[in-house]
């Protein structure tokens, strides 16, 4: 009996060992989870996922810090008062690094391999944007050793200065690839941002270069980039959401499902003092039919199909104004006025821009133009965009008071997953601490502006 059982066991082992020779290995492949996908399938998902995270946690949290919005209850009251934890940003971080950023790396590699420089270029622009977003809110981040899958699950954190070099390298490479005369495959209807218009992707790349040069006080390089950058509101890099609930804008979803925010007091004071024509787009009436700190978000940002903006022509003009401010007051003032004009016209083409500019505190004249003027008007124009937090940390304008305590938050804590699973590399980040005080420390470019 024992001999029969042993023989049966040996036979089973031999059959199992050789099963790969006669069993169809395709039987256990899930047809709903393909191991590969074409570029035109991957690309729109990277755009949508990035726009959702940008317009969701990233812009919402940073808008609390800039006081574009007010946290009135629950989690967002805590965030408004700088009680930010490593778990608050964790979901956005994991989503981006394992989702669209990993997919963008795949797209860059695939398009390089199959002779599709236009796809490579748009992927490089998107990757540069994602790196810029994360380094500007966290500081040092993984990149050079990231996106290797199981080959390296604990990538090092590159210094912010090196991340910026990588960003400019990606954008320079993108400009070259987007300028290629031919591309075996190229974006078209799958490109939800620009519908395959390569010329607009090139303008976006140059304008992003200007933004990132400005962060390091590289004014001449920023102005050179702007010479090839956005030329009108029609060049804005923005992602439009749909009309179905499954395609809804993240601000809309948050307001309808949570609603624990309202308009920011500093912003409402500025806009009310100037009788700003953008108020109906930014805010809705409060219970007294006024625009106030009690107003909910307005229809331009909080409608189901509202767009999420990555970078805009209006921002480009304010970058130009700031870069020219010291040495070309006439040029700075002209760019300042165009930044205001283009912003207003985006929300209301019929608005009386001349009346707005005629106000003494707006149309100050080139001789009286100050950095405060530029940054306050940019603050209004950049409503809900994380870049406004960068602006405040750089320049201190507009003047904002801490919502609690004596310090303003200057960075978001590192995500929880990095402490759990990559602590050795995280702990090597200069100055890193799990203490709350870490949020009030300055990252590399911040130290350049505020030594």
Sign of CA dihedral 360, 362, 367, 368: positive
What pLDDT is attached to residue 17? 38
Which burial class, exposed, middle or buried, applies to 148 when counting CB atoms under 10 A from its CB (0-12, 13-18, 19+)?
A: exposed
pLDDT of 349 higher than 80: yes
Contact 333, 365 (CB under 8 A): yes
Contact 158, 194 (CB under 8 A): no
Which burial class, exposed, middle or buried, applies to 146 when counting CB atoms under 10 A from its CB (0-12, 13-18, 19+)?
A: middle
CA-to-CA separations, 3 to 6, 11, 15, 273, 295, in angstroms, rounded: 5, 12, 18, 96, 84
Task: Determine the Cα–Cα distance for residues 400 and 129; give it in Å rounded to an integer.
Answer: 27
Binning the chain into helix, strand and coil, the percentages to the nearest 5 are 60, 5, 40
Up-side HSE of residue 101: CA atoms within 13 Å toward CB?
24
Task: Determine the Cα–Cα distance for residues 333 and 370; give it in Å rounded to an integer.
Answer: 9
pLDDT of 5 higher than 60: no
pLDDT tens digits along 368-391? 999 999 999 999 999 999 999 999
Task: Determine the Cα–Cα distance for residues 62 and 69; give it in Å rounded to an integer.
Answer: 9
Report phi then psi at 71, rounded to 5. Answer: -85, 125
pLDDT tens digits along 192-227? 999 999 999 999 999 999 999 999 999 999 999 999
pLDDT tens digits along 283-304? 999 999 999 999 999 999 999 9
pLDDT tens digits along 119-155? 999 999 999 999 999 999 999 999 999 999 999 999 9
pLDDT tens digits along 226-245? 999 999 999 999 999 999 99
Angle CA(304)–CA(305)–CA(309) in degrees, nearest 5?
A: 120
pLDDT tens digits along 423-445? 999 999 999 999 999 999 999 99
Spatial CA neighbour of 413 closest among 85, 153, 185, 128? 85
Angle CA(300)–CA(338)–CA(299) in degrees, nearest 5?
A: 5
pLDDT of 10 higher than 60: no
What pLDDT is attached to residue 259? 84
DSSP-assigned letter for residue 141: B
Spatial CA neighbour of 234 closest among 130, 162, 342, 161? 342
pLDDT of 397 higher than 60: yes
Number of H-type helices and E-type strands within the chain: 23, 4
Tell which CATH classification among 1.10.150.670, 3.40.50.2020, 1.10.10.60, 1.25.40.390 matches the domain 43-265+280-445: 1.25.40.390
Contact 264, 283 (CB under 8 A): no
What pLDDT is attached to residue 237? 98
CA-to-CA separations, 246 to 43, 241, 252, 266, in angstroms, rounded: 19, 10, 12, 34
CA-to-CA separations, 309 to 20, 89, 92, 236, 387, in angstroms, rounded: 51, 20, 17, 7, 11
Spatial CA neighbour of 174 closest among 132, 118, 129, 100? 118
Sign of CA dihedral 157, 162, 167, 173: negative
* Model pTM score: 0.93
pLDDT band at 29 (very low <50, low <70, confident <90, very high): low
Task: Determine the Cα–Cα distance for residues 325 and 373; give it in Å rounded to an integer.
Answer: 11
Sign of CA dihedral 152, 153, 157, 163: positive
């Amino acid at each position: 009996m024992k001999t029969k059982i042993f023989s049966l066991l040996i036979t089973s082992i031999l059959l199992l060992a050789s099963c790969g020779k006669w069993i169809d290995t395709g039987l256990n492949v899930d047809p709903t989870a393909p191991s590969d996908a074409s570029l035109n399938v991957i690309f729109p998902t990277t755009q949508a996922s990035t726009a959702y995270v940008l317009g969701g946690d990233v812009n919402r949290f940073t808008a609390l810090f800039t006081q574009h919005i007010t946290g009135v209850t629950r989690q967002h009251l805590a965030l408004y008062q700088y009680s930010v934890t490593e778990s608050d940003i964790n979901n956005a971080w994991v989503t981006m690094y394992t989702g669209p950023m990993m997919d963008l790396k795949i797209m860059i590699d695939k398009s390089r391999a199959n002779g599709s420089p236009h796809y490579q270029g748009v992927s490089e622009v998107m990757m540069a944007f994602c790196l810029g977003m994360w380094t500007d809110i966290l500081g040092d981040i993984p990149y050079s050793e990231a996106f290797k899958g199981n080959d390296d699950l604990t990538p090092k954190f590159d210094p912010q200065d090196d991340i910026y070099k990588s960003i400019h390298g990606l954008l320079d490479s993108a400009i070259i690839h987007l300028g290629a005369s031919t591309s075996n495959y190229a974006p078209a209807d799958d490109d939800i941002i620009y519908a395959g218009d390569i010329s607009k992707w090139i303008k976006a790349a140059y304008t992003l270069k200007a933004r990132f040069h400005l962060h390091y006080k590289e004014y001449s390089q920023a102005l050179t980039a702007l010479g090839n950058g956005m030329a009108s509101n029609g060049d804005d890099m923005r992602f439009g959401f749909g009309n179905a609930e499954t395609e809804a804008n993240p601000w809309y979803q948050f307001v309808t499902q949570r609603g624990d925010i309202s308009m920011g007091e500093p912003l409402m004071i500025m806009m009310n003092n100037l009788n700003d024509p953008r108020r109906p787009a930014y805010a809705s009436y409060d219970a007294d039919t006024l625009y106030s700190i009690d107003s909910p978000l307005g229809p331009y940002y909080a409608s189901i199909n509202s767009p999420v903006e990555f970078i805009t022509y209006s921002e480009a003009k304010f970058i130009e104004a700031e870069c020219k401010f010291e040495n070309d007051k006439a040029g700075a003032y002209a760019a300042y006025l165009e930044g205001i004009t283009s912003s207003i016209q985006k929300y209301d083409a019929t608005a009386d821009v001349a009346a707005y500019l005629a106000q003494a505190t707006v149309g100050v004249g080139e001789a009286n133009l100050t950095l405060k003027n530029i940054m306050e008007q940019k603050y209004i124009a950049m409503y809900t965009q994380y870049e406004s937090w960068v602006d405040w940390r750089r320049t201190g304008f507009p003047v904002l008071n801490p919502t609690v305590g004596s310090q303003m938050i200057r960075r978001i804590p590192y995500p929880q997953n990095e402490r759990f699973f990559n602590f050795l590399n995280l702990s090597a980040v200069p100055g890193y601490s799990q203490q709350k005080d870490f949020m009030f420390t300055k990252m590399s470019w911040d130290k350049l502006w505020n030594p």
